[in-house]
Amino acid sequence: MTIGVWVLGDQLWAGQSALQSCGCSTVPPGGNRQPTPVIFIESLHHAQELPYHLQKLVLLWSAMRHFADELRQDGWDVTYKQGIDFKTPLLAWIEQHQIIELRVMTPTDRPFAKLIEQLDLPCKITLTPSNRFIWNDQDLISWANSRKRLVMEDFYREGRRRFNVLMEGDQPIAGRWNFDKENRKPPKGKLNLPEALWFQPDQMTQEVIDWVRASPEFKDSQDYWSIEPFQWGVTRQQALQVLEFFIQTRLSEFGPYQDAMVTGEQTMWHAMLSPYLNLGLLHPLEVLEAAEQAYYQNQTEWELNSVEGFVRQILGWREYMHCIYLHMGEDYPSSNYFNHTQPLPGFYFTGDTKMNCLHQVLTQVKETGYAHHIQRLMVLSNFGLIAGVSPQELQDWFHAAFVDGYDWVMQTNVIGMGQFADGGLMASKPYAASANYINNMSDYCKHCAYDRRDRTGENACPFNFFYWDFLDRHQDKLKKNHRMGQIMFNLARFSDEERQLIRDMQLDAAAQVLRRLQAVKRPG
């Protein structure tokens, strides 16, 4: 009787439940000890479902290949296959190893779980419970079912208590749960920004780069995404180095400038840990413990707002997003509260726009597949929202463009948080903003062809007229939201003439975007 394990691309650590459930060798009844068969599959069909960033493909496949090698060295019987689909290599491997039970850790992404359900393999399939998050799935579902409103702050406090993080008895350390107010400093004056930790590709990674570059399947994407310099870590060892580097050089200053954006500074004090966490190279609990321990060791010099701010990201936002994903039904990704249907502007793929904020962030995404949270939320997603872009088109773009993008984290962040397309199930108001916000939190407006102060006129910043027109277009829905009261009051003071002018500018800009969109050839 042979049990085999299929390791999925975002389950790359030895402690994952399917590997753990077998051990690296087993003794069949009456037989000798045998190494457990394990399979990894790179599916070309799956990789072509969206026009993925080339660095995302390289990161995933190189990390899989490295992890497969590590398991081999630890005594597992590893098969590594590349195929069009998943089924053909699986069938051959099952037959070769006479596998009667296939174990897979339950996939986090729903479409992948469905794909496995429909595989129709000639052996039993056992899904082992996922152990990749801090909360287990059952507890998350129970928490969500027990609430009328799924408020992140409530969830976060429950997590702090439950896992005893930064607590003194049943109270938060220093008597406060939340330091958000201290963590919104604009980037004024001279900032001493830390360096990021990047890596040179080793031979295995270089082979993947060369292969992806030469593959006709990904030819179109080469006009849009840079494949080199490829500088991401691809092993657990490197991921641990990034964690250590973050704790040593950034954590103590993480908080105050969390929302700030500076030209040419890709990462500020952000951790750059999401690609590694989402592949399974790091576990969120070890990240959390490392941050908390560093705080207690440096308590006399470090401010609590930075460490609390980081803990809030990992134990709060990340786990909460997973909770929402588990709780919401299958139709969640098609939510469209504002009925937005504009196509995604072609410049999301090229970076070619006169709007400097978008140009800067899109160019960075092209080069690295990464942008930090506020760049994603208040530049890329904000523009989509106020310009009325289809949430589903925007989500597909985010999914393709970001090295850390997966279904579970994309839907909640783009559909829910960024686009308010779920009508406010998780966000208490839409994250919509004019140039005022971007000017306050960045230096982008200083170098822009548009005037951040103008709402109308030839040089008016598009964020302004799209923003005010968004409020005007949707005032029936937005007036009901008590957090929008002041801004809707401000809108009511605009003259009819100004509203009409803003509407015309918005319509004209939207038509221009459409015209340009038709001129841009998109990948995929």
Question: Which residues contact ligand SF4 by CB under 6 A?
Answer: 355-357, 435, 438-439, 444-445, 448, 450, 452, 461-463
**Which residue, 6 or 402, is less far from ligand FAD as judged by CB?**
402
Return the one option of ligand SF4, ligand FAD, none that residue 450 interacts with (CB less than 5 to 8 A, by type).
Answer: ligand SF4
Is position 324 an interface residue for ligand FAD (rule: CB under 6 A)? no
**Which residue, 373 or 473, is less far from ligand FAD as judged by CB?**
373
Number of residues that bind ligand FAD (CB under 6 A): 27
Token pair 């660095």 is found at: 55
**Which residue, 38 or 324, is less far from ligand FAD as judged by CB?**
324
The two structure tokens encoding residue 517: 């969109």
Name beta bridge partners: 505: none
- Burial status of residue 435 (CB atoms within 10 A of its CB: 0-12, 13-18, 19 or more): buried
Q: Count of CB atoms within 10 A of residue 414's CB?
A: 26
Return the one option of ligand SF4, ligand FAD, none that residue 116 interacts with (CB less than 5 to 8 A, by type).
Answer: none
In 3-state terms, what secondary structure has residue 521?
A: coil
Shortest distance (Å) from residue 270 CB to ligand FAD: 3
For ligand FAD, which residue of 57, 271, 387, 425 counts as binding (CB under 6 A)?
A: 271
Do the Cβ atoms of 137 and 143 come closer than 8 Å? no
Return the one option of ligand SF4, ligand FAD, none that residue 444 interacts with (CB less than 5 to 8 A, by type).
Answer: ligand SF4
What type of residue sits at position 310?
Answer: F
Is position 328 an interface residue for ligand FAD (rule: CB under 6 A)? no
Is position 413 an interface residue for ligand FAD (rule: CB under 6 A)? yes
Shortest distance (Å) from residue 452 CB to ligand SF4: 4
Is position 305 an interface residue for ligand FAD (rule: CB under 6 A)? no
Shortest distance (Å) from residue 186 CB to ligand SF4: 14
Shortest distance (Å) from residue 93 CB to ligand FAD: 31
DSSP calls for 380-441 = IIHHHHHTTB-HHHHHHHHHHH-TT--HHHHIIIIIIIIT-TTSSSS-SS-----HHHHHHH
Do the Cβ atoms of 335 and 422 come closer than 8 Å? yes
Do the Cβ atoms of 100 and 126 come closer than 8 Å? no
For ligand FAD, which residue of 7, 116, 134, 314 counts as binding (CB under 6 A)?
A: 314
Is position 41 an interface residue for ligand FAD (rule: CB under 6 A)? no
For ligand FAD, which residue of 62, 106, 381, 392 counts as binding (CB under 6 A)?
A: 381
**CA-based end-to-end distance of the chain:** 44
CA distance 419 to 199: 34
Return the one option of ligand SF4, ligand FAD, none that residue 356 interacts with (CB less than 5 to 8 A, by type).
Answer: ligand SF4
CA distance 281 to 308: 23
- Does residue 268 come out as left (phi exceeding 0), alpha (psi in the -120 to 50 range) or beta? left
Q: Between the CA atoms of 496, 436, 439 and 376, what dihedral angle is there, to the nearest 10 degrees?
A: -100
**Which residue, 139 or 454, is less far from ligand SF4 as judged by CB?**
454
Is position 12 an interface residue for ligand FAD (rule: CB under 6 A)? no
For ligand FAD, which residue of 2, 36, 106, 278 counts as binding (CB under 6 A)?
A: 278
Return the one option of ligand SF4, ligand FAD, none that residue 372 interacts with (CB less than 5 to 8 A, by type).
Answer: ligand FAD
Q: Binders of ligand FAD among 337-376, rule CB under 6 A? A: 372-373, 376
For ligand FAD, which residue of 318, 340, 359, 474 counts as binding (CB under 6 A)?
A: 318
Is position 377 an interface residue for ligand FAD (rule: CB under 6 A)? yes
CA distance 133 to 377: 24
Is position 395 an interface residue for ligand FAD (rule: CB under 6 A)? no
Shortest distance (Å) from residue 450 CB to ligand SF4: 4
Is position 405 an interface residue for ligand FAD (rule: CB under 6 A)? yes
Shortest distance (Å) from residue 159 CB to ligand FAD: 13
Do the Cβ atoms of 156 and 316 come closer than 8 Å? yes
DSSP calls for 305-327 = HHHHHHHIIIIIIIHHHHHHHHH
Query: Residue 168 belongs to what H/E stretch?
Result: strand 167-168
Shortest distance (Å) from residue 318 CB to ligand FAD: 4
Shortest distance (Å) from residue 372 CB to ligand FAD: 5
∠ Cα 333 480 470 (to 5°): 65
- Burial status of residue 438 (CB atoms within 10 A of its CB: 0-12, 13-18, 19 or more): buried
Which residues form the interface with ligand FAD (CB under 6 A)? 270-274, 277-278, 313-314, 317-318, 321, 372-373, 376-377, 381, 398, 402, 404-405, 409-410, 413-414, 417-418
